[in-house]
Chain A
Amino acid sequence: MNPISRRKLITTGLAAGAGVAGLSVAARVAEHYGLIPPDHGGIYGPGETLTYAAQRLLTTHSLAREFPRGMISKTPFANETPPANDSFKRHQASGFSDWRLVVDGMVARPASLSLSDLKSLPFRSQITEVACEEGWSYIAEWIGTPLIEVMNTVELLPQARYVAYFSIDTNWWESIDMADALHPQTLLTWGMNDGDLPVSFGGPLRMRVPRQLGYKSVKYVTRLTVTDTLKHFGKGLGSASPEGGYAWYAGI
């Protein structure tokens, strides 16, 4: 072996080793800072991880655009919803008076809140856009209790990293990280455009996550679970969306 090829071999080997070591260090640092999405596996994992990590670094505290009252859509589109199950129909018949929001998981004081309990907490209204992954959108005023107010009531444990939330429709559940869960615009919404939130738009209670696409804004929310890992929820991909082939993080 001549000296040049040996030198080349050594430098190539060192570079490859440094590359592998660098990547594994980067992965551990990214994991530590919560920059790896739960659906990071598979062939689209690298793109998802880059998007989520880049946006977490860029947008942790940024606010979704809010619009003037004059821009509220006169023709909002509710989109189709799955047919109501018997449980929902019972609630609807009783005017949602028995609707409960169960909050459990890594919290000091688990709770079961009625809609009036929720409305007794500080609430806010915001005029934001719902953007569907299909491409359409509308603007509405959303009135609700910020999720952070509920989190303050139940007292998060320090290891909390995600909040999973579940619809009365058992196939529909999502989760968000603490950056979105504690974000001032993430709203447990019970009002829309100065009235009650209509059933077609998710009433009586919808999670609105305005910095992500519409499918993260789950309708008919009945339970929140605070957790340090999403591995034990469903197939461990973070939410129902990746199980159906859609990205967990929908901030794009």
Chain B
Amino acid sequence: MTPVCYAARVPAAGPLPNSETPRHAAVVRVTHWLTVISFFALLISGAEIVISHPRFYWGEVGNVRTTPLFTLPIPASRDTVPTGYGNVLPDQNGWSRYLHFQAAWLVVVTGLVYAISSLWSGHFRKDLFPAPADRKWRAFREVMAKYLRRAPPDEAEAHSYNVIQRTAYVIVVFVLFPLVIWTGLAMSPAFVSAVPAAVTLLGGRQSARTLHFFVSVFLVLFLVVHVGMVVLAGFRNRMRAMITGRAVVATERTLERT
């Protein structure tokens, strides 16, 4: 049963055949799926809200009588907005706004739980921040070359993330999510009455709205790549890892059994 040709490559003290290796801690898994739920709620409701005024401006003010920075090429759900389309879409803003702000609370509370527990457990340090040796272009290029060759992940990647994955997650966790929350709060007239700098630092209310839109676009781009990579890496196994916390690790020893 054991193919002799591989025997020499079997590490002396490798993991047990077909070993199920812990990949994601419970907090990471629960907060991941809560974030998925709230992100989709925010995305759908946010798109509905944008449809009521698919024009974007820069600075403090902007309305249908001022020149937009850009306009999305879609019909609007308000007949006061000149879109060039003959039809007016149905108004979905009521429930969309209720859902948007409720989901925003869920994602903020989830993010706080994730951040505090990750600081506590060392998840950021161990799993997300690139190791000092990897903080070089060379490390990025090597990982990218591996992706382009469609080389199978090595054993370290079965337990952990490579430098490109780490960088992507660091940007999402420490840049995009904080920015999308900040730009969202900057549009709250009551919040900025208490914290005016939240909006003035961004250059005004309409700048905050435009930035909120672009950060959301970047989050969607991340989502597309993220799901794409999960599919390439093995959808069932990766989903299993994020649901049960365990992944089947295809080491050389398990490969020889298959």
Chain A interface residues (CB < 8 Å from chain B): 44, 46-48, 50-51, 55, 58-59, 62-65, 67, 71, 73, 75-77, 79-80, 129, 131-139, 210-213, 244-247, 251-252
Chain A interface, DSSP helix/strand/loop, else mixed: loop
Q: How far is the CA of A67 from the CA of B200 in the complex (A)?
A: 11
Do A48 and B190 touch (CB < 8 A)?
no
Residue of A nearest to B103 (CB): A47
| Residues of chain A within 8 A of B199, CB atoms compared | 65
Q: How far is the CA of A80 from the CA of B79 in the complex (A)?
A: 9
Do A133 and B189 touch (CB < 8 A)?
no
The verdict on B19 contacting chain A, using a C-beta distance below 8 Å, is: no
Chain B 69-81 near chain A by CB (<8 Å), digits 1 or 0: 0000000001110
List the 3 shortest-distance A-B pairs measured between CB atoms, nearest first: A47-B102, A245-B94, A251-B190
Do B64 and A77 touch (CB < 8 A)?
yes
Residue of A nearest to B199 (CB): A65
Do B190 and A212 touch (CB < 8 A)?
yes
Do A135 and B190 touch (CB < 8 A)?
no
Q: How far is the CA of A55 from the CA of B189 in the complex (A)?
A: 11
The verdict on B53 contacting chain A, using a C-beta distance below 8 Å, is: yes
| Residues of chain A within 8 A of B6, CB atoms compared | none
Q: A51-B105, A245-B94 are in contact. Are A129 and B60 (CB under 8 A)?
A: yes
Residue of A nearest to B91 (CB): A245
Q: How far is the CA of A251 from the CA of B191 in the complex (A)?
A: 7
Do B101 and A252 touch (CB < 8 A)?
yes
Do A80 and B80 touch (CB < 8 A)?
yes
Q: How far is the CA of A167 from the CA of B20 in the complex (A)?
A: 67
Residue of A nearest to B192 (CB): A65
Q: How far is the CA of A62 from the CA of B189 in the complex (A)?
A: 11
**Number of chain B interface residues as a range:** 35 or more
| Residues of chain B within 8 A of A131, CB atoms compared | 187, 189, 205
Q: A64-B193, A80-B80, A129-B205 are in contact. Are A137 and B62 (CB under 8 A)?
A: yes
| Residues of chain A within 8 A of B55, CB atoms compared | 135-136
| Residues of chain A within 8 A of B101, CB atoms compared | 47-48, 51, 247, 252
Residue of B nearest to A135 (CB): B53
The verdict on B214 contacting chain A, using a C-beta distance below 8 Å, is: no
| Residues of chain B within 8 A of A63, CB atoms compared | 193
Given contacts A50-B105, A246-B97, 4 further A-B contacts (CB under 8 A): A55-B188, A75-B63, A137-B205, A211-B190
| Residues of chain B within 8 A of A77, CB atoms compared | 63-65, 80
The verdict on B201 contacting chain A, using a C-beta distance below 8 Å, is: no
- Identify B102's interface contact among A46, A55, A244, CB under 8 A: A46
| Residues of chain A within 8 A of B104, CB atoms compared | 47
The verdict on B246 contacting chain A, using a C-beta distance below 8 Å, is: no
Give residues 183-205 of B contacting A (CB, 8 Å): 187-194, 196, 199, 205
Chain B 84-115 near chain A by CB (<8 Å), digits 1 or 0: 00000000011101110111111000000000
| Residues of chain B within 8 A of A73, CB atoms compared | 61, 63, 66
Do B63 and A62 touch (CB < 8 A)?
no
| Residues of chain A within 8 A of B64, CB atoms compared | 77, 136
Q: How far is the CA of A121 from the CA of B94 in the complex (A)?
A: 37
Q: How far is the CA of A133 from the CA of B49 in the complex (A)?
A: 8
Q: A48-B102, A77-B65 are in contact. Are A137 and B60 (CB under 8 A)?
A: yes
Cβ distance A129 to chain B, nearest Cβ, rounded Å: 7
| Residues of chain B within 8 A of A65, CB atoms compared | 192-193, 196, 199
The verdict on B52 contacting chain A, using a C-beta distance below 8 Å, is: yes
Cβ distance A57 to chain B, nearest Cβ, rounded Å: 10
Residue of B nearest to A250 (CB): B189
| Residues of chain B within 8 A of A133, CB atoms compared | 49, 52, 93, 97
Chain B 201-244 near chain A by CB (<8 Å), digits 1 or 0: 00001100100000000000000000000000000000000000
- Identify B61's interface contact among A47, A62, A137, CB under 8 A: A137
Cβ distance B28 to chain A, nearest Cβ, rounded Å: 23
| Residues of chain A within 8 A of B172, CB atoms compared | none
The verdict on B50 contacting chain A, using a C-beta distance below 8 Å, is: yes
- Identify B190's interface contact among A46, A55, A129, CB under 8 A: A55
Residue of A nearest to B92 (CB): A245
User: Can you spell out 7 A-B residue pairs with CB atoms less than 8 angstroms apart?
Assistant: A64-B189, A133-B49, A135-B209, A136-B53, A136-B55, A137-B62, A252-B189
